[in-house]
Amino acid sequence: MGTPPVLVVTALGDVTADLVISELHRRGAGVVRLDPSVDFPAGARMAAAFYDAGLRGAINTSTRRLDLSAVRSVYWRRPTPYGSTSSGEPSATRFSNSQSGAGYTGVLASLPTASYVNHPWRNRDAEYKPAQLAAAARTGLTAPPTLVTNDPCAARRFVDDHSPAVYKPVRGVHLAAEDGSGRTIWVKTVSPDEIDDRVSTCPHLFQARVPKVADIRLAAVGEEVFATRIDNAGEHLDWRQRQDLLTFTPVPTPPAIRNAVHAYLDVFGLSFGAFDFALTADGQWVWLETNPNGQWAFVDPPTCAAITSALADCLQKGTTP
């Protein structure tokens, strides 16, 4: 391999990563794709040695050898989780899964010459909505009134004071059902009489509902921003529920929003973020949340191509925080 390669850490079927990989291949850049929890048990081998000079070693697969000290950049997308850690698993399996996460991820997050989009620790830190809300306030993004609580009385007062209000999870949106199927927790409107003692089991996030005329998905890549207006032909509060009813239109980003977005990325040390805004009738962009590793391949083709190119630029040049 002539030039230092780009490492893409993700599972098969990741359409977002596929676009970037195809663009890197088109440019003649070397790319190695790896899904650690799948590839290593299937035959890949890692040997990472730490000396005074730092990390040295390699990953060998059936077809490639990756020099760990020569990786140019890492596109950290969505690798397969390292199995179950539930109490129902044998103790040896739980131990192996925990060691895999600490060992493989720990090494791949410590490559000495690599820049990251984004570093997995930065992704993790930026996924918690309370941290997001604090960062939004610090950087000048306008957010709706929000309450995080496990107190049913406080929740009812907040929802009554800010009606209509919505509920959303504090972190993530996916839930594994008892039958093993995946479920998604959508944003939903909530009324005071729906709140009972079940709220006390864990923190819940309640937020004043924004009277919006459309949504905005903004992808920030380094210094560039790409905003798309999302118009919904249905009545869904959470536009992700029915993407077949959506229309996507590129829109310019107001300078104040651009500056706040860059400041927000700096708070978490991110080089990429997918920002969600509600657009009001008077043209205000109200920030709702930021996914540090969010999707963007669903937007209009020109914007999708521009985001793909910007990410490929970052990875090819190694210009990330």
pLDDT higher than 90, residue 284: yes
| Residue spans of beta strands (DSSP E) within the chain | 6-9, 31-34, 45-51, 54-60, 65-67, 73-76, 115-117, 146-149, 165-168, 174-176, 182-184, 188-190, 204-208, 212-221, 224-232, 246-251, 272-280, 285-291
3-state secondary structure at position 165: strand
Q: How confident is the model at residue 165 (pLDDT cuts 50, 70, 90)?
A: very high
Amino acid 175: pLDDT:
62
> What pLDDT band is residue 85 in, cutting at 50, 70 and 90?
low
Q: Among all chains, which residue has been given the structure tokens 């599972």?
A: 11
Q: Which amino acid is at 52?
A: D
Percent of the chain with pLDDT over 70: 93
